[in-house]
Chain A
């Protein structure tokens, strides 16, 4: 059983929107802070953002390049994390990973997002 499985990636035009999902299994999702991290082709890891657990207010934090355009949410009843991406730019092209905790202790396998006209 894979603990985290991302989905929703694909090809989108600049200015478009996409919503990524991260389905969790076999872990205490509702007790976990959750994060998104991305990696552009051939580049290093870049932290995207984090959402705290409900008991800590589900507070979110974002990296500067995505603040105001991306939004992280969670549905604990479905054990699913989301990343809503709006006003996408070519520089958002990357593999997107979800992970548990503020520093991803467990990682998903990633979903690829390509922003191109």
Chain B
């Protein structure tokens, strides 16, 4: 069966450092992979979409990589800030989008 694993349930880092979150998947060949941010008690908010033919995508302090051979995506937040503290979800597919369980990131001042 299809599986999406976000390796760390929680990640704590110091302000200013780079946060790196991992998303691995099995039994799936998605054409699209997305990352969302979810704050407690709120719906997810879209951050980035990357296509299978793209290796890397950037948006301000965010960077996403997509390795279809390794079946893995890495999500980086550079120069992290306490305001970046949230749960980050990876999602695969489009019309039948499936989500990972998320990684709860805490950025300490």
Partners in one complex: no
Query: B-side interface residues toward A, CB under 8 Å?
Result: none
Binding site for B on A (CB under 8 A): none
